[in-house]
Amino acid sequence: MVAAGKTVIRDQAIDLLEWIKANRERLVMRPNDNEEDMVIFNGADLDEKGWDRAIRTALRNPYVVQEAAPASTAVFPVYRYGQLEMQRMQVDITPHALLGKIQSCSAWLSVEGSAGFSTLTGVAPVVIVDAKGA
């Protein structure tokens, strides 16, 4: 969560706000809740003033900060127009945490490289496999 104070990243204690300011190019700040009117801030797309405004917004609202990662894609079977076909889709996984532990997650699939509307876009089931039980 974006907040003033100390935290630990990779076994190193840091001041979170200073770290967020210093690592703008590789960070993304997202709303913690799925609010339609709250925007996602991609540090690589903002200048320093824009990033400072984003940090102030994130301090006033429930935001998380994450390291940016390239979009993941996978091939999924899609039944369309009476035929089964394989379609490469972009996969966005959203973990759901409670009390510091991941409890579940949801997945959103969209057509790779598509910025517009597609009937193939939507929620997909997610199965969490616990390697400890295997």
Q: What pLDDT, in 10s, does the model give residues 23-65?
A: 999 999 998 876 667 888 999 999 999 999 999 999 999 999 9
CATH of domain 6-67: 3.30.1490
Listed in order, strand segments (DSSP E) in 24-82 are 27-31, 41-42, 63-67, 72-80
Selection from 67-71, 82-86, 103-107 with the highest mean pLDDT: 82-86
The residue extents of the domains of the chain are 6-67, 72-133
As a whole number, the mean pLDDT across the chain is 86
Distance CA 131, CA 134 (A): 5
Q: Are 84 and 78 in contact (CB under 8 A)?
A: yes
Stated as kind and residue range, the H or E segment containing 19 is helix 16-22
Give this prediction's pTM: 0.63
Distance CA 79, CA 65 (A): 37
Q: Which amino acid is it at 123?
A: V
